[in-house]
Chain A
Protein backbone atom coordinates (compact mmCIF):
# COMPACT_ATOMS: atom_id res chain seq x y z
CA UNK A 1 0.00 0.00 0.00
CA UNK A 2 2.65 2.52 1.04
CA UNK A 3 4.98 1.32 -1.70
CA UNK A 4 2.25 1.97 -4.22
CA UNK A 5 1.39 5.42 -2.99
CA UNK A 6 4.99 6.59 -3.19
CA UNK A 7 5.73 4.97 -6.51
CA UNK A 8 2.72 5.83 -8.59
CA UNK A 9 3.00 9.62 -8.47
CA UNK A 10 6.69 9.47 -9.35
CA UNK A 11 5.98 7.25 -12.30
CA UNK A 12 3.18 9.50 -13.36
CA UNK A 13 5.31 12.62 -13.08
CA UNK A 14 7.96 11.00 -15.22
CA UNK A 15 5.24 9.95 -17.65
CA UNK A 16 4.02 13.50 -17.77
CA UNK A 17 7.46 14.99 -18.44
CA UNK A 18 7.93 12.50 -21.28
CA UNK A 19 4.55 13.37 -22.67
CA UNK A 20 5.13 17.13 -22.59
CA UNK A 21 8.61 16.98 -24.09
CA UNK A 22 7.26 14.80 -26.89
CA UNK A 23 4.33 17.14 -27.41
CA UNK A 24 6.62 20.19 -27.65
CA UNK A 25 8.98 18.54 -30.16
CA UNK A 26 6.24 17.09 -32.34
CA UNK A 27 3.96 20.11 -31.89
CA UNK A 28 6.73 22.49 -33.03
CA UNK A 29 7.40 20.45 -36.16
CA UNK A 30 3.69 20.04 -36.95
CA UNK A 31 3.23 23.78 -36.53
CA UNK A 32 6.15 24.50 -38.88
CA UNK A 33 4.68 22.08 -41.41
CA UNK A 34 1.24 23.68 -41.29
CA UNK A 35 2.57 27.24 -41.43
CA UNK A 36 4.67 26.28 -44.47
CA UNK A 37 1.44 25.98 -46.48
CA UNK A 38 0.69 29.68 -45.93
CA UNK A 39 4.00 31.33 -45.24
CA UNK A 40 7.70 30.73 -45.56
CA UNK A 41 10.43 33.38 -45.18
CA UNK A 42 11.23 33.06 -48.90
CA UNK A 43 9.96 31.08 -51.85
CA UNK A 44 11.49 27.63 -52.03
CA UNK A 45 13.51 28.18 -55.21
CA UNK A 46 14.19 31.85 -54.58
CA UNK A 47 17.97 32.40 -54.65
CA UNK A 48 17.58 35.20 -52.19
CA UNK A 49 20.98 35.26 -50.54
CA UNK A 50 24.63 34.60 -51.16
CA UNK A 51 25.99 31.09 -51.41
CA UNK A 52 26.45 29.07 -48.21
CA UNK A 53 25.71 31.97 -45.90
CA UNK A 54 25.86 31.21 -42.19
CA UNK A 55 22.68 31.65 -40.13
CA UNK A 56 21.80 35.32 -39.75
CA UNK A 57 18.83 37.61 -39.14
CA UNK A 58 17.96 37.48 -42.85
CA UNK A 59 18.45 33.71 -43.19
CA UNK A 60 17.74 32.03 -39.85
CA UNK A 61 19.25 28.74 -40.94
CA UNK A 62 21.68 30.09 -43.53
CA UNK A 63 21.59 29.39 -47.27
CA UNK A 64 22.55 26.47 -49.51
CA UNK A 65 25.09 26.48 -52.32
CA UNK A 66 22.62 28.15 -54.69
CA UNK A 67 21.80 30.86 -52.15
CA UNK A 68 18.34 29.44 -51.32
CA UNK A 69 16.99 29.96 -47.81
CA UNK A 70 17.52 26.85 -45.63
CA UNK A 71 14.87 27.76 -43.05
CA UNK A 72 12.28 27.73 -45.84
CA UNK A 73 13.50 24.28 -46.86
CA UNK A 74 13.38 23.05 -43.26
CA UNK A 75 9.75 24.16 -42.93
CA UNK A 76 8.71 22.46 -46.15
CA UNK A 77 10.78 19.45 -45.12
CA UNK A 78 8.74 19.25 -41.89
CA UNK A 79 5.56 19.12 -43.94
CA UNK A 80 6.95 16.36 -46.15
CA UNK A 81 8.30 14.33 -43.23
CA UNK A 82 4.88 14.41 -41.56
CA UNK A 83 3.01 13.51 -44.73
CA UNK A 84 5.41 10.67 -45.45
CA UNK A 85 5.37 9.41 -41.85
CA UNK A 86 1.57 9.48 -41.51
CA UNK A 87 0.95 8.10 -44.98
CA UNK A 88 3.46 5.29 -44.73
CA UNK A 89 2.34 4.30 -41.23
CA UNK A 90 -1.31 4.36 -42.32
CA UNK A 91 -0.62 2.09 -45.30
CA UNK A 92 1.68 -0.15 -43.28
CA UNK A 93 -0.87 -0.37 -40.45
CA UNK A 94 -3.81 -1.25 -42.70
CA UNK A 95 -1.92 -3.98 -44.57
CA UNK A 96 -0.04 -5.19 -41.50
CA UNK A 97 -2.99 -5.31 -39.09
CA UNK A 98 -5.23 -7.03 -41.63
CA UNK A 99 -2.69 -9.72 -42.52
CA UNK A 100 -1.56 -10.10 -38.90
CA UNK A 101 -5.09 -10.74 -37.66
CA UNK A 102 -5.75 -13.02 -40.63
CA UNK A 103 -2.67 -15.06 -39.72
CA UNK A 104 -3.68 -15.30 -36.07
CA UNK A 105 -7.09 -16.66 -37.07
CA UNK A 106 -5.95 -18.81 -39.98
CA UNK A 107 -5.51 -22.54 -40.10
CA UNK A 108 -2.15 -23.82 -38.93
CA UNK A 109 -0.84 -24.04 -42.50
CA UNK A 110 -1.77 -20.52 -43.59
CA UNK A 111 -0.59 -19.09 -40.27
CA UNK A 112 2.83 -20.71 -40.61
CA UNK A 113 3.06 -19.54 -44.21
CA UNK A 114 2.19 -15.94 -43.33
CA UNK A 115 4.53 -15.94 -40.34
CA UNK A 116 7.39 -17.17 -42.52
CA UNK A 117 6.47 -14.58 -45.15
CA UNK A 118 6.63 -11.76 -42.54
CA UNK A 119 9.97 -13.00 -41.27
CA UNK A 120 11.45 -13.20 -44.75
CA UNK A 121 10.26 -9.69 -45.62
CA UNK A 122 11.55 -8.33 -42.31
CA UNK A 123 14.95 -9.84 -43.04
CA UNK A 124 15.20 -7.36 -45.93
CA UNK A 125 15.75 -3.78 -44.79
CA UNK A 126 12.60 -1.67 -45.10
CA UNK A 127 14.62 0.65 -47.27
CA UNK A 128 15.48 -2.12 -49.72
CA UNK A 129 11.84 -3.14 -50.10
CA UNK A 130 10.91 0.51 -50.60
CA UNK A 131 13.61 0.85 -53.26
CA UNK A 132 12.24 -2.17 -55.12
CA UNK A 133 8.72 -0.69 -55.03
CA UNK A 134 10.00 2.66 -56.32
CA UNK A 135 11.89 0.84 -59.06
CA UNK A 136 8.74 -1.09 -60.00
CA UNK A 137 6.76 2.14 -60.24
CA UNK A 138 9.51 3.50 -62.53
CA UNK A 139 9.21 7.14 -61.47
CA UNK A 140 10.05 8.73 -58.18
CA UNK A 141 7.30 10.82 -56.61
CA UNK A 142 6.10 11.64 -53.13
CA UNK A 143 3.19 9.23 -53.51
CA UNK A 144 5.44 6.43 -54.68
CA UNK A 145 7.79 7.00 -51.75
CA UNK A 146 4.87 6.83 -49.29
CA UNK A 147 3.44 3.69 -50.87
CA UNK A 148 6.87 2.08 -50.98
CA UNK A 149 7.61 2.83 -47.33
CA UNK A 150 4.14 1.71 -46.27
CA UNK A 151 4.61 -1.65 -47.99
CA UNK A 152 8.09 -1.87 -46.51
CA UNK A 153 6.71 -1.38 -42.97
CA UNK A 154 3.73 -3.72 -43.32
CA UNK A 155 5.50 -7.02 -42.49
CA UNK A 156 6.83 -5.53 -39.24
CA UNK A 157 3.33 -4.43 -38.26
CA UNK A 158 1.95 -7.77 -39.46
CA UNK A 159 4.29 -9.79 -37.32
CA UNK A 160 3.62 -7.89 -34.12
CA UNK A 161 -0.15 -7.84 -34.81
CA UNK A 162 -0.13 -11.60 -35.25
CA UNK A 163 1.65 -12.15 -31.94
CA UNK A 164 -0.50 -9.64 -30.02
CA UNK A 165 -3.70 -11.09 -31.49
CA UNK A 166 -2.71 -14.60 -30.49
CA UNK A 167 -2.08 -13.43 -26.95
CA UNK A 168 -5.50 -11.80 -26.75
CA UNK A 169 -7.17 -14.85 -28.33
CA UNK A 170 -5.86 -17.00 -25.49
CA UNK A 171 -7.56 -14.84 -22.86
CA UNK A 172 -10.61 -16.00 -20.93
CA UNK A 173 -12.65 -12.97 -21.92
CA UNK A 174 -12.49 -14.08 -25.54
CA UNK A 175 -13.90 -17.48 -24.54
CA UNK A 176 -16.47 -15.64 -22.42
CA UNK A 177 -17.43 -13.46 -25.39
CA UNK A 178 -17.66 -16.51 -27.67
CA UNK A 179 -19.70 -18.46 -25.14
CA UNK A 180 -22.21 -15.63 -25.02
CA UNK A 181 -22.63 -15.87 -28.78
CA UNK A 182 -20.41 -13.03 -30.05
CA UNK A 183 -19.47 -13.47 -33.71
CA UNK A 184 -15.80 -13.42 -34.72
CA UNK A 185 -16.23 -10.08 -36.46
CA UNK A 186 -17.59 -8.47 -33.32
CA UNK A 187 -14.85 -10.05 -31.23
CA UNK A 188 -12.16 -8.57 -33.48
CA UNK A 189 -13.79 -5.15 -33.40
CA UNK A 190 -14.78 -4.95 -29.73
CA UNK A 191 -12.14 -7.00 -27.95
CA UNK A 192 -9.09 -7.72 -30.08
CA UNK A 193 -8.45 -4.32 -31.68
CA UNK A 194 -8.87 -2.33 -28.42
CA UNK A 195 -6.58 -4.72 -26.59
CA UNK A 196 -3.79 -4.71 -29.16
CA UNK A 197 -3.90 -0.98 -29.97
CA UNK A 198 -2.04 0.24 -26.83
CA UNK A 199 0.89 -2.01 -27.71
CA UNK A 200 0.55 -1.56 -31.44
CA UNK A 201 0.40 2.22 -31.02
CA UNK A 202 3.83 2.37 -29.46
CA UNK A 203 5.16 0.14 -32.18
CA UNK A 204 3.56 2.29 -34.88
CA UNK A 205 5.29 5.34 -33.40
CA UNK A 206 8.59 3.52 -33.84
CA UNK A 207 7.58 2.74 -37.42
CA UNK A 208 6.77 6.41 -37.98
CA UNK A 209 10.32 7.27 -37.01
CA UNK A 210 11.60 4.51 -39.27
CA UNK A 211 9.51 5.76 -42.18
CA UNK A 212 10.70 9.36 -41.83
CA UNK A 213 14.32 8.23 -41.69
CA UNK A 214 13.85 5.83 -44.57
CA UNK A 215 12.32 8.62 -46.65
CA UNK A 216 15.38 10.72 -45.90
CA UNK A 217 17.49 7.82 -47.12
CA UNK A 218 15.36 7.38 -50.24
CA UNK A 219 15.73 11.08 -50.99
CA UNK A 220 19.41 10.86 -50.24
CA UNK A 221 19.63 8.15 -52.90
CA UNK A 222 17.58 10.27 -55.26
CA UNK A 223 14.59 7.91 -55.01
CA UNK A 224 12.42 10.05 -52.77
CA UNK A 225 10.20 13.01 -53.55
CA UNK A 226 11.83 14.78 -56.53
CA UNK A 227 12.52 18.56 -56.51
CA UNK A 228 11.02 21.03 -55.85
CA UNK A 229 10.07 18.99 -52.76
CA UNK A 230 12.59 19.86 -50.08
CA UNK A 231 12.69 16.85 -47.81
CA UNK A 232 15.18 16.70 -44.98
CA UNK A 233 16.86 13.75 -46.65
CA UNK A 234 17.32 15.72 -49.86
CA UNK A 235 18.74 18.63 -47.85
CA UNK A 236 21.24 16.25 -46.26
CA UNK A 237 22.18 14.95 -49.67
CA UNK A 238 22.69 18.41 -51.10
CA UNK A 239 24.77 19.51 -48.11
CA UNK A 240 27.01 16.49 -48.49
CA UNK A 241 29.81 18.24 -50.37
CA UNK A 242 29.90 21.26 -48.10
CA UNK A 243 29.76 19.65 -44.65
CA UNK A 244 33.09 21.18 -43.63
CA UNK A 245 32.63 24.64 -45.10
CA UNK A 246 28.95 25.06 -44.16
CA UNK A 247 28.10 22.44 -41.52
CA UNK A 248 24.70 23.97 -40.65
CA UNK A 249 23.33 22.75 -43.98
CA UNK A 250 23.69 19.15 -42.80
CA UNK A 251 23.40 19.60 -39.04
CA UNK A 252 20.03 21.37 -39.04
CA UNK A 253 18.01 18.85 -41.11
CA UNK A 254 19.71 16.08 -39.15
CA UNK A 255 18.62 17.68 -35.89
CA UNK A 256 15.08 18.18 -37.20
CA UNK A 257 14.87 14.49 -38.15
CA UNK A 258 16.21 13.48 -34.76
CA UNK A 259 13.75 15.77 -32.93
CA UNK A 260 10.76 14.37 -34.84
CA UNK A 261 11.70 10.73 -34.32
CA UNK A 262 12.46 11.18 -30.61
CA UNK A 263 9.40 13.39 -30.12
CA UNK A 264 7.02 10.85 -31.65
CA UNK A 265 8.36 8.09 -29.44
CA UNK A 266 8.12 10.17 -26.27
CA UNK A 267 4.60 11.20 -27.19
CA UNK A 268 3.53 7.61 -27.82
CA UNK A 269 4.95 6.48 -24.49
CA UNK A 270 3.27 9.34 -22.67
CA UNK A 271 -0.07 8.72 -24.39
CA UNK A 272 -0.02 5.05 -23.52
CA UNK A 273 0.64 5.81 -19.86
CA UNK A 274 -2.25 8.26 -19.86
CA UNK A 275 -4.89 6.31 -21.68
CA UNK A 276 -4.29 2.69 -20.80
CA UNK A 277 -6.87 2.12 -18.04
CA UNK A 278 -5.11 -0.99 -16.77
CA UNK A 279 -2.04 1.10 -16.01
CA UNK A 280 -4.00 4.00 -14.62
CA UNK A 281 -4.58 3.78 -10.89
CA UNK A 282 -8.18 3.05 -10.02
Chain B
Protein backbone atom coordinates (compact mmCIF):
# COMPACT_ATOMS: atom_id res chain seq x y z
CA UNK B 1 0.00 0.00 0.00
CA UNK B 2 1.32 3.45 -0.89
CA UNK B 3 0.16 5.03 2.35
CA UNK B 4 2.18 2.71 4.56
CA UNK B 5 4.68 4.35 6.89
CA UNK B 6 7.16 1.49 6.73
CA UNK B 7 7.38 -1.00 3.90
CA UNK B 8 9.92 -3.80 3.93
CA UNK B 9 10.20 -5.83 0.72
CA UNK B 10 12.39 -8.90 0.32
CA UNK B 11 14.85 -7.82 3.01
CA UNK B 12 17.92 -10.03 3.13
CA UNK B 13 20.81 -9.41 5.52
CA UNK B 14 24.02 -11.34 5.12
CA UNK B 15 27.63 -11.34 6.22
CA UNK B 16 30.21 -12.63 3.72
CA UNK B 17 29.78 -16.14 5.11
CA UNK B 18 26.25 -16.34 6.48
CA UNK B 19 22.70 -15.31 5.64
CA UNK B 20 21.15 -13.87 8.81
CA UNK B 21 17.77 -12.64 7.55
CA UNK B 22 16.18 -13.80 4.32
CA UNK B 23 13.33 -12.51 2.17
CA UNK B 24 11.48 -10.62 4.86
CA UNK B 25 8.44 -8.56 3.82
CA UNK B 26 6.02 -6.64 6.00
CA UNK B 27 4.52 -3.19 6.29
CA UNK B 28 3.31 -0.90 9.06
CA UNK B 29 0.57 1.69 8.49
CA UNK B 30 0.67 5.09 10.25
CA UNK B 31 -0.42 4.64 13.87
CA UNK B 32 -0.43 0.85 13.61
CA UNK B 33 0.98 -1.32 16.40
CA UNK B 34 2.99 -4.16 14.91
CA UNK B 35 4.53 -7.02 16.91
CA UNK B 36 7.64 -8.93 15.88
CA UNK B 37 7.93 -12.30 17.62
CA UNK B 38 10.80 -14.74 17.52
CA UNK B 39 13.16 -16.70 19.67
CA UNK B 40 16.64 -15.45 20.54
CA UNK B 41 18.85 -15.11 17.47
CA UNK B 42 15.98 -15.14 14.98
CA UNK B 43 17.06 -11.75 13.57
CA UNK B 44 14.59 -9.38 15.23
CA UNK B 45 17.15 -6.84 16.34
CA UNK B 46 18.97 -6.97 13.01
CA UNK B 47 15.69 -6.21 11.24
CA UNK B 48 15.09 -3.18 13.45
CA UNK B 49 18.66 -1.95 12.96
CA UNK B 50 18.22 -2.30 9.21
CA UNK B 51 15.13 -0.09 9.41
CA UNK B 52 17.18 2.66 11.09
CA UNK B 53 20.16 2.14 8.77
CA UNK B 54 22.44 1.20 11.66
CA UNK B 55 23.66 -2.22 10.61
CA UNK B 56 27.28 -3.09 11.32
CA UNK B 57 29.41 -2.51 8.21
CA UNK B 58 30.04 -6.25 7.92
CA UNK B 59 26.35 -6.93 7.27
CA UNK B 60 25.12 -6.22 3.74
CA UNK B 61 21.45 -5.47 3.23
CA UNK B 62 19.53 -6.32 0.07
CA UNK B 63 15.91 -5.72 -0.88
CA UNK B 64 14.05 -2.55 -0.05
CA UNK B 65 13.02 -0.64 3.07
CA UNK B 66 10.95 2.50 2.60
CA UNK B 67 10.29 4.63 5.63
CA UNK B 68 8.00 7.63 5.23
CA UNK B 69 8.40 7.35 1.47
CA UNK B 70 12.22 7.27 1.48
CA UNK B 71 14.46 4.33 0.66
CA UNK B 72 16.79 3.38 3.55
CA UNK B 73 19.00 0.78 1.91
CA UNK B 74 21.93 2.48 0.24
CA UNK B 75 20.93 5.94 1.51
CA UNK B 76 23.85 8.25 2.39
CA UNK B 77 24.62 8.64 6.12
CA UNK B 78 23.69 12.32 5.98
CA UNK B 79 20.12 11.57 4.96
CA UNK B 80 19.88 8.76 7.49
CA UNK B 81 20.89 11.11 10.33
CA UNK B 82 18.06 13.47 9.37
CA UNK B 83 15.60 10.63 9.08
CA UNK B 84 16.48 9.04 12.43
CA UNK B 85 14.67 10.90 15.12
CA UNK B 86 12.41 12.59 12.58
CA UNK B 87 10.76 9.46 11.23
CA UNK B 88 11.91 6.77 13.63
CA UNK B 89 13.21 6.42 17.21
CA UNK B 90 14.18 3.34 19.20
CA UNK B 91 13.88 2.13 22.80
CA UNK B 92 16.41 -0.58 23.61
CA UNK B 93 16.36 -3.64 25.79
CA UNK B 94 18.87 -2.61 28.45
CA UNK B 95 18.23 0.94 29.64
CA UNK B 96 21.37 1.09 31.80
CA UNK B 97 23.73 0.72 28.86
CA UNK B 98 21.52 2.70 26.47
CA UNK B 99 22.09 5.85 28.55
CA UNK B 100 25.41 7.69 28.77
CA UNK B 101 26.76 6.89 32.28
CA UNK B 102 28.48 10.27 32.61
CA UNK B 103 25.68 12.58 31.52
CA UNK B 104 22.83 13.77 33.74
CA UNK B 105 19.48 12.40 32.56
CA UNK B 106 18.03 15.85 31.89
CA UNK B 107 20.80 16.65 29.40
CA UNK B 108 20.36 13.32 27.66
CA UNK B 109 16.71 14.11 26.98
CA UNK B 110 17.55 17.69 26.06
CA UNK B 111 19.74 16.59 23.13
CA UNK B 112 17.00 15.16 20.90
CA UNK B 113 14.56 17.88 22.07
CA UNK B 114 16.93 20.62 20.90
CA UNK B 115 17.52 18.88 17.57
CA UNK B 116 13.83 18.50 16.94
CA UNK B 117 13.03 22.14 17.81
CA UNK B 118 15.82 23.32 15.50
CA UNK B 119 14.71 21.01 12.70
CA UNK B 120 11.19 22.35 12.93
CA UNK B 121 12.51 25.91 13.00
CA UNK B 122 11.22 26.57 16.51
CA UNK B 123 12.78 28.45 19.39
CA UNK B 124 15.46 26.15 20.89
CA UNK B 125 16.80 28.24 23.77
CA UNK B 126 17.50 26.94 27.28
CA UNK B 127 14.10 27.78 28.66
CA UNK B 128 12.15 26.27 25.79
CA UNK B 129 14.22 23.08 25.92
CA UNK B 130 13.94 22.79 29.71
CA UNK B 131 10.16 23.21 29.50
CA UNK B 132 9.96 20.51 26.84
CA UNK B 133 12.15 18.14 28.92
CA UNK B 134 9.92 18.61 31.94
CA UNK B 135 6.73 17.94 30.00
CA UNK B 136 8.30 14.79 28.52
CA UNK B 137 9.11 13.53 32.03
CA UNK B 138 5.50 14.12 32.96
CA UNK B 139 4.37 12.35 29.81
CA UNK B 140 6.23 9.17 30.81
CA UNK B 141 4.89 9.63 34.36
CA UNK B 142 8.16 10.08 36.17
CA UNK B 143 7.90 11.54 39.65
CA UNK B 144 10.25 14.23 41.02
CA UNK B 145 11.35 15.63 37.66
CA UNK B 146 13.66 18.15 39.34
CA UNK B 147 15.71 15.42 40.98
CA UNK B 148 15.70 13.18 37.92
CA UNK B 149 16.99 15.88 35.62
CA UNK B 150 20.14 16.14 37.69
CA UNK B 151 20.56 12.39 38.35
CA UNK B 152 22.94 10.05 36.57
CA UNK B 153 21.68 6.74 35.10
CA UNK B 154 23.09 4.60 37.95
CA UNK B 155 21.24 6.69 40.52
CA UNK B 156 17.70 5.76 39.42
CA UNK B 157 15.81 2.47 39.19
CA UNK B 158 15.63 0.27 36.10
CA UNK B 159 12.01 1.17 35.43
CA UNK B 160 12.80 4.86 35.75
CA UNK B 161 15.73 4.50 33.39
CA UNK B 162 13.51 2.84 30.80
CA UNK B 163 10.99 5.68 31.18
CA UNK B 164 13.82 8.14 30.55
CA UNK B 165 14.79 6.17 27.45
CA UNK B 166 11.18 6.33 26.28
CA UNK B 167 11.14 10.06 26.94
CA UNK B 168 14.30 10.41 24.82
CA UNK B 169 12.71 8.49 21.98
CA UNK B 170 9.51 10.54 22.16
CA UNK B 171 11.53 13.75 22.35
CA UNK B 172 12.13 13.23 18.63
CA UNK B 173 8.36 13.11 17.93
CA UNK B 174 8.97 10.18 15.58
CA UNK B 175 6.30 8.70 13.34
CA UNK B 176 7.50 5.19 14.10
CA UNK B 177 8.71 4.01 17.52
CA UNK B 178 10.76 0.82 17.63
CA UNK B 179 10.79 -0.94 21.00
CA UNK B 180 13.33 -3.78 20.97
CA UNK B 181 12.44 -6.04 23.92
CA UNK B 182 12.01 -2.96 26.11
CA UNK B 183 10.92 -4.95 29.15
CA UNK B 184 13.23 -7.96 29.14
CA UNK B 185 15.68 -6.35 31.59
CA UNK B 186 12.94 -5.37 34.06
CA UNK B 187 11.06 -7.20 36.82
CA UNK B 188 7.53 -8.42 36.14
CA UNK B 189 5.57 -5.57 37.76
CA UNK B 190 7.71 -2.93 36.10
CA UNK B 191 7.37 -4.80 32.80
CA UNK B 192 3.60 -4.50 32.88
CA UNK B 193 3.82 -0.78 33.68
CA UNK B 194 6.24 -0.10 30.86
CA UNK B 195 4.14 -2.08 28.35
CA UNK B 196 1.02 -0.16 29.38
CA UNK B 197 2.91 3.13 29.18
CA UNK B 198 4.22 2.46 25.68
CA UNK B 199 0.84 1.29 24.42
CA UNK B 200 -1.03 4.28 25.79
CA UNK B 201 1.58 6.78 24.61
CA UNK B 202 1.70 5.62 21.00
CA UNK B 203 -2.08 5.57 20.93
CA UNK B 204 -2.32 9.04 22.48
CA UNK B 205 0.32 10.51 20.16
CA UNK B 206 -0.71 8.58 17.03
CA UNK B 207 2.75 7.02 16.60
CA UNK B 208 3.18 3.69 14.83
CA UNK B 209 4.89 1.02 16.92
CA UNK B 210 7.22 -1.82 16.01
CA UNK B 211 7.28 -3.90 19.17
CA UNK B 212 9.87 -6.66 19.35
CA UNK B 213 9.61 -9.44 21.90
CA UNK B 214 9.84 -13.16 22.41
CA UNK B 215 7.02 -12.97 24.94
CA UNK B 216 3.74 -13.86 23.19
CA UNK B 217 1.55 -12.61 26.01
CA UNK B 218 3.17 -9.18 25.95
CA UNK B 219 2.94 -8.90 22.18
CA UNK B 220 -0.70 -9.98 22.39
CA UNK B 221 -1.38 -7.08 24.76
CA UNK B 222 0.35 -4.52 22.59
CA UNK B 223 0.07 -5.36 18.91
CA UNK B 224 -2.73 -5.27 16.35
CA UNK B 225 -0.77 -7.28 13.79
CA UNK B 226 2.10 -9.63 14.37
CA UNK B 227 4.80 -11.42 12.46
CA UNK B 228 6.52 -14.56 13.71
CA UNK B 229 10.17 -15.05 12.77
CA UNK B 230 12.48 -18.02 12.98
CA UNK B 231 16.08 -18.31 11.78
CA UNK B 232 15.81 -15.04 9.89
CA UNK B 233 12.64 -15.96 7.97
CA UNK B 234 9.03 -15.10 8.33
CA UNK B 235 6.94 -17.99 9.60
CA UNK B 236 3.51 -16.43 9.84
CA UNK B 237 1.93 -13.00 9.82
CA UNK B 238 -1.55 -11.58 10.31
CA UNK B 239 -3.85 -9.89 12.84
CA UNK B 240 -2.59 -10.53 16.39
CA UNK B 241 -5.87 -12.03 17.49
CA UNK B 242 -5.81 -14.59 14.70
CA UNK B 243 -2.11 -15.55 14.82
CA UNK B 244 -2.01 -15.86 18.59
CA UNK B 245 -5.25 -17.82 19.01
CA UNK B 246 -5.63 -19.76 15.73
CA UNK B 247 -2.10 -20.09 14.37
CA UNK B 248 -1.76 -21.82 11.02
CA UNK B 249 1.91 -22.70 11.13
CA UNK B 250 3.08 -25.60 13.29
CA UNK B 251 5.97 -23.59 14.75
CA UNK B 252 3.65 -20.80 15.84
CA UNK B 253 1.27 -23.39 17.23
CA UNK B 254 4.06 -24.85 19.36
CA UNK B 255 4.97 -21.35 20.60
CA UNK B 256 1.37 -20.62 21.52
CA UNK B 257 0.96 -23.98 23.21
CA UNK B 258 4.14 -23.47 25.21
CA UNK B 259 2.99 -20.01 26.30
CA UNK B 260 -0.39 -21.42 27.27
CA UNK B 261 1.16 -24.22 29.31
CA UNK B 262 3.32 -21.62 31.03
CA UNK B 263 0.28 -19.49 31.88
CA UNK B 264 -1.65 -22.48 33.14
CA UNK B 265 1.30 -23.47 35.32
CA UNK B 266 1.31 -19.99 36.77
CA UNK B 267 -2.44 -19.98 37.35
CA UNK B 268 -2.32 -23.48 38.83
CA UNK B 269 -0.12 -22.21 41.62
CA UNK B 270 -1.85 -21.55 44.94
**Of A198, A276, A277, A282, most B-chain CB atoms within 10 Å:** A277
Give CA–CA (A278, B101) in the complex, Å. Answer: 7
Q: Are B90 and A176 in contact (CB under 8 A)?
A: yes
Residues of A within 8 A of B52 (CB): 179
Least distance between A16 CB and chain B CB atoms (Å)? 21
B102 touches A278 (CB 8 A): yes
Known: A172-B94, A181-B84. A195 touches B115 (CB 8 A): no
Residues of B within 8 A of A181 (CB): 81-86, 112, 115, 172
Give chain A residues whose Cβ lies under 8 Å from the Cβ of B242.
none
Tell me which residues across on chain B come within 8 A of A173, comparing CB atoms: 97-101
- Given the interface pairs A172-B92, A282-B155, the reply to whether A277 lies near B102 with Cβ below 8 Å is yes
| Chain A residues closer than 8 Å to B82, beta-carbon distance | 181
User: Is the beta-carbon distance between A178 and B115 smaller than 8 angstroms?
Assistant: no
- Nearest chain-B residue to A276 (Cβ)? B102
Q: Report how far A175 CA is from B94 CA in the complex, Å.
A: 12
* Known interface pairs A181-B84, A190-B111; A176-B92 also in contact (CB < 8 Å): yes
Q: Within 8 Å of chain B (Cβ to Cβ): is A45?
A: no
Q: Which residue of A lies closest to B156 (CB)?
A: A282
Residue B154, interface by CB 8 Å: yes
CA distance A278 to B98 in the complex (A): 15
A270 CA to B15 CA, complexed, in Å: 46
Chain A CB within 8 A of B26 CB: no
Chain A residues with Cβ below 8 Å from B84 are 178-181
Does the CB pair A178–B54 fall under 8 Å? yes
Question: In the complex, what distance in Å separates the CA atom of A277 from the CA atom of B100?
Answer: 11
Cα–Cα, bound, A185→B98 (Å)? 19
Q: Is A41 an interface residue (CB 8 A)?
A: no
Q: Does B103 contact A (CB under 8 A)?
A: yes
Tell me the chain A residues, 180-228 only, with Cβ under 8 Å from chain B: 180-183, 186, 190-191, 194-195, 198
Chain B residues with Cβ under 8 A from A178's Cβ? 54, 81, 84
- Closest residue of chain B to A195 (Cβ to Cβ) is B102
Chain A positions within 8 Å of B98 at CB level: 172-173, 175-176
A181 and B168 alpha carbons, distance in the complex (Å): 11
Choice from A175, A186, A190, A195 contacting B101 with Cβ under 8 Å: A195
Distance of A102 from chain B, by nearest CB (Å): 17
Q: Is B111 within 8 A of A180, CB to CB?
A: yes
Does A177 sit within 8 A of B, measured CB to CB? yes
The answer, yes or no, to whether A2 is at the interface (CB within 8 Å) is: no
Interface status of B5 (Cβ within 8 A of chain A): no
Asked if residues A195 and B54 are in contact (CB atoms below 8 Å), the reply is: no
Residue on B with the closest CB to A168?
A: B100
Which residues between 125 and 158 of chain A lie within 8 Å of chain B, taking CB atoms? none
B89 / chain A contacts, CB cutoff of 8 Å = 179-180
**How many interface residues does chain A have, given as a range?**
20 to 34
Min CB distance, B93 to chain A, in Å?
A: 9
Please, which residues of chain A bring their CB within 8 A of the CB of B81? 178, 181-183
Within 8-26 of B, Cβ neighbours of A (below 8 Å) are at none
Contact B111–A175 (Cβ < 8 Å): no
Chain A residues in 8 Å Cβ range of B171: 180
Chain B contacts of A186 at CB under 8 A?
A: 111
Does residue A171 face the partner (Cβ distance < 8 Å to B)?
yes
B54 touches A190 (CB 8 A): no
Q: Which of A176, A182, A183, A277 contacts B165 (CB 8 A)?
A: A176
Most chain A beta carbons < 10 A, residue from B100, B111, B172: B100
Query: Which interface residue of A175, A176, A177, A191 has the most chain B CB atoms within 10 A?
Result: A176
User: Which residues of chain B from 65 to 108 have a CB within 8 Å of any chain A CB?
Assistant: 81-86, 88-90, 92, 94, 97-103
**How many angstroms from the CA of A122 to the CA of B50 in the assembled complex?**
40
In the docked arrangement, what's the CA distance between A198 and B23, Å? 46
Least CB distance, B116 to chain A, in whole angstroms: 9
Bound: A276/B152 CA distance, A: 11
Q: Which residues of B contact A171 (CB under 8 A)?
A: 97
Q: Are B101 and A277 in contact (CB under 8 A)?
A: yes
CB of B57, distance to nearest CB on chain A (Å): 9
Expressed in whole angstroms, the Cα–Cα distance for A246 and B203 within the complex equals 86
State which residues 148-181 of B face A: CB under 8 Å: 152, 154-155, 165, 168-169, 171-172
* Per-residue B-contact encoding for A244-282, CB less than 8 Å = 1, 0 else: 000000000000000000000000000000001110001
Instruction: Determine how close the nearest CB of chain A comes to the CB of B129; give it in whole angstroms.
Output: 14
Cβ–Cβ contact A182 & B99, under 8 A:
no
**CB neighbours of B83 from chain A (8 A):** 181
Q: How far is the CB of A115 from chain B (nearest CB, A)?
A: 18
Of B81, B82, B168, most buried by chain A (CB within 10 Å of CB) is B81
A/B interface sample: 6 pairs, CB < 8 A: A173-B101, A176-B90, A177-B100, A178-B54, A181-B115, A182-B112
Interface residues of B (CB under 8 A from A): 52, 54, 81-86, 88-90, 92, 94, 97-103, 111-112, 115, 152, 154-155, 165, 168-169, 171-172
Given contacts A180-B169, A195-B102, A278-B152, 7 further A-B contacts (CB under 8 A): A172-B92, A176-B92, A180-B171, A180-B172, A181-B85, A182-B115, A278-B101
